[in-house]
Structure 1
Amino acid sequence: MLTARRRVAGVVAAVLGGSLLLASCGGSDSGSADGRTLRLWHYEGPDSAMGAAWNEAIKEFEATHPGVKVKFEEKGFEQIQKTAPMVLNSSDAPDLMEYNKGNATAGQLSRQGLLTDLTAEVAKRGWDRKLSAGVRTTSRYDTDGVMGSGAWYGVPNYAEYTMVYYNKDLFDRYGIARPKTLGELTAAMDTFVAKGVTPLADAGAEYIAQQYLYQLALTRADRSWVDNYELYKGRNDFHDAAWTYAANTFADWVKKGYISRKSTGAKAEDAGVSFIRGKAPILFSGSWWFGRFRTEAKFDWGTFLWPDTHLTLGSGGNLWVVPKGSGNKDLAYDFIDITLSKKVQNLLGDKGGVPVAADADAITDPKSKSLIADFNSVSAEDGLAFYPDWPVTGFYDVLVSETQKLVTGGEKPDDYLTALQKAYDRGVPRR
């Protein structure tokens, strides 16, 4: 998917665009298997939890591999997203790279034969035993490139999920208690609207608006519903009770002023900044914001899981993939192993990330402990429901444009669902 978390967590990478921290590798040494250089691409900002953890992994790798250097190149998310098929089919492919998970991304590359099958290495090194079932789903792809079964083509070493971020100071100012049910959340938003405050930070031009709507659908869904939609295990009907409730409720929330009609042109960064500046009391979004809010928000804030459901958007994090043309696959495997070590995983957790193999007792930051505990709760209930744009290629753009129409009132909920059904059905692979 075009997981737009990279549009925020990788803010530094996005700004850099085509610029690299190191000169891009090319020419005669491209793809060389010299055994002394590991060419690594990822798009985590250096100040993010993942960026800090991978920098530590690089130090650990070089310390345990005398004479071997990591040639790290920071790429923008969009840069890798758009050029990966072409680059991986050339001599410029790195030895190891971070790539987005899902049918339309890693699944597509696996189907095209551009990624190394990691199944034997996963079993040999026990990586599968470190990952929960929900996190493992995005690591495996069948011959059609559909996630959930088949060979291992990637390994995540962190996780991500969505939650409600709320400004405790604003809640206290207006005498509102932390909502524990959806009814209480709705009542809180009514109070904010009555005080002239738009309660929800939104971004219609990117992923946040569609994720509000998908989460509303999840309150009326179960695991089989998710599997039908994401994994094609059964027919997905956009006019069923869950989708219909979500579209109608979302449109109603716009009418009630919970979501601003002006948010159609806003991007995820705009929504995040409105929360950081104390303008929006509530933002429903992912764990990828956590570290930034901890650093930049100058007020008391907290998080809670979306109420009245055990399902929420989330998955294993982006994948380490080994290109088929990698010249130093053994070095790549060793690096993956280090990112899954307790030392690196514990650091990731303390920096505000969601580790998949950390020692819980080693995490010292109270907010980080809460973040990880909530994830463990979701994961234990098999509650990771992935993301709405994952099922078919190009669906992200459809969701953006159609959801914008719901915000403006230019499209009725029933017509919105019909448009999604047509786009979805066009993209679902023949099974």
Structure 2
Amino acid sequence: MRLWLLTVIMAVILAGCGGSGGTTATDSGSNPKPDETGTDPGTKTEEAVTLKMFTAYADRANGPGKIEQEIIDAYMQENPNVKIEVEALQDEPYKAKIKVYASTNQLPDIIQAWGQPSFLSPLLDNDMLLELNPDDFSGSNFVAGSVDGFSKDGKMYGIPRNTDYAVLYYNKKIFDDNGLKVPATVAELLDVVKQLRAKNINPVAINGMEGWTLPIMFDYYAQRASGDFTLMDKAFNGEISFTDPTLIQGASDMLAFADAKGFADGWLTADYGTARNLFGQGQAAMFFMGNWEASLATDENFSEDFRQNVGAISFPASDKGSQTDIAAWYGGGYAISKNTKHADAAIAFMKYFFAPDNWPKKVWQSGAGTPAQKFDQYLTGEETELQEQLIDIFTNMTSSAGTPLQDISSDEFKQKSMEIHQQLLSGKITPEQFAKELDAAASKANAK
């Protein structure tokens, strides 16, 4: 897949403060100055406005959802004429309900959006999103390439919020107590799985019921078999087949992991929250998920013992793929409904949200994730060990996967590809059948 993320790795971490013309508040307050947010008292109206905002950050008390809510609350306090009503659901229920809103042409004013064709294309094809002016966000210091997934035909329709990449979280205490070595290769990972199972310990928690993490794991196994992240795009586009020997090998290696009971018991019926809690409560040794789970180290829903012992590694290597080859992409963000009656108010809030001292600073310093904006000026030296490990994984990246397989086309292809992965990993089809079914799904998607 695309290697675009390589060009921005050092821009995110090492770029000087003189980025793209943005300014940063220097007063002692936690919020930007009015001229940095688009909410200058001299220009804002006092007309009462209610904005409806729909987000997939369901947990409003922890992690990025807490930061999102804090920024919303601060904005309403500074702008008492504006009321922001929040509806929040987890990812998959969110995506189901956004289809309902879209089918009745009643999108909320501000919606969470993913800069990926499977989510954005149906909304753009039906002319449901407001075109945005990039100049409105020129001071937000977005890293190069981060807006691309939210653009079409040179026009901008959304704003990126996160830089995402998939890692393997692990419980250091479980590893130490059982004399286990943290796996550096896929062979070592398989060996660790077998040792954990021999001790009746769940190896890897994953949200198998929802399915979207499974193609991301396949990205890793396919790259480790081939040394090349671009094969997935080539197979989808018909340049090669998913029956390519290296892709079959990747599928076989992933199936071997599943056959060894590498996934936690009940993985196929586990949603995101179930998998996260299984790991956070010490009932699984590892958790395959994205870097946005940096807040595992600070989430008070879990024990202090767990928070002090959670670590992260990049996915284990092979003789062809390095641990510096990372499944990384720009993920969630926001878009504004074209039918909103309060476009100016929605844009003003988005400018405020992405002001340098708001989202990028707060989400990083809270350990809740990695923004799609430059944040080097907000490194405090007091980052959690987990944050340091995650940023080390990111800064050492030498190649990246780009948009995950399930998200590069239509929603129909997404659902079918996830289902095919579930069938493979539950033993219902062979790697060869898996590859042929992916070929058929890709061919159907490309024919439309």
TM-score by length of 2: 0.75
How is 1:61-100 mapped onto 2 (pairs within 5 angstroms)?
Answer: 61-65=75-79, 67-74=81-88, 77-78=91-92, 80-84=94-98, 87-88=101-102, 92-100=106-114
Query: Partner of 1:28 in structure 2?
Result: none
How far does residue 426 in structure 1 lie from its aligned partner after superposition?
A: 0.7
Q: Does 1:213 align with 2:214?
A: no
Partner of residue 4, structure 2: none
Q: Partner residue of 2:417?
A: 399
SS of 2:174 mapped into structure 1: helix
Q: 1:139 aligns with which of 122, 127, 150?
A: 150
For 1:210 and 1:114, the matched residues in 2 are separated by 29
- Report the RMSD for the aligned CA atoms in angstroms: 3.1
Structure 2: which 5+ runs fail to align? 1-45
Match of residue 333 from structure 1: 347
- Paired residue secondary structure (2:118): coil
Deviation at residue 388 of structure 1 after TM alignment = 2.8
1:426 matched to 2:444? The reply is yes
| Change in 2 beyond 3 A, CA 1:77/1:285 | closer
Q: Percent identity, aligned pairs only? A: 18
Contact 2:312/2:386 (<8 A) preserved: no
Q: Please say if residues 171 and 178 of structure 1, whose CA atoms lie closer than 8 Å, have aligned partners that are also in contact.
A: yes
Equivalent residues in 2 for 1:95-244, closer than 5 Å: 95-118=109-132, 121-126=133-138, 129-133=141-145, 135-142=146-153, 150-207=154-211, 208-219=213-224, 220-228=226-234, 232=237, 235-244=239-248
Partner of 1:301: 310
Match of 2:403 in 1: 386
Bigger shift: 245-254 or 51-60? 51-60
CA distance in 1: counterparts of 2:197 and 2:403, whole angstroms:
31
On the 8 A contact 1:221/1:242 being kept in 2, the answer is no
Match of 1:246 in 2: 250
| Partner in structure 1 of residue 33 of structure 2 | none
Normalising by structure 1, what TM-score?
Answer: 0.78
Contact 1:218/1:312 (8 A) holds in 2: no
1:85 and 1:206 mapped to 2: Cα distance? 17
Partners of 1:204 and 1:281 in 2: CA distance? 17
Which residue number in structure 1 is paired with residue 56 of structure 2? 43
Q: CA deviation at 1:69?
A: 3.1
Structure 1 unaligned residues grouped into runs of 5+: 1-32, 143-149
Flag the structure with more relative contact order, 1 or 2, with Cα contacts below 8 A and sequence separation at least 6. Answer: 2
Tell me how far apart the structure 2 counterparts of residues 284 and 429 of structure 1 sit (CA, whole Å). Answer: 33
Tell me the matched-pair count.
385
Report the CA distance between 1:215 and its aligned residue.
Answer: 2.0
Query: Is structure 2 residue 356 aligned with structure 1 residue 356?
Result: no
One-letter code aligned to 2:130: T
Letter in 1 for 2:252: N
Matched, 1:343 2:354: no
How far the C-alpha of 1:83 sits from its partner, in A, is: 4.5
Note closer, same or farther for the CA distance 1:334–1:381 as it changes in structure 2 (3 Å cut): farther
Please give the alpha-carbon distance, in whole angstroms, between the structure 1 residues aligned to 2:235 and 2:159. 23
Going from structure 1 to structure 2, the CA distance change for 1:252 and 1:406 (only over 3 Å counts) comes to same
- For 1:246, give the aligned amino acid: G
Q: Distance in 2 between matches of 1:217 and 1:410?
A: 20
Could you tell me which amino acid in structure 2 is paired with residue 138 of structure 1? Answer: G
Q: How does 1:259-338 map to 2 (within 5 A)?
A: 259=263, 263-292=267-296, 294-295=298-299, 296-297=302-303, 298-299=305-306, 300-308=309-317, 309=322, 310-338=324-352
The change in CA–CA distance for 1:221 and 1:108 in structure 2 (over 3 A counts) is farther
CA distance in 2, matches of 1:202, 1:290: 16
Deviation at 1:203, TM superposition (A): 4.2
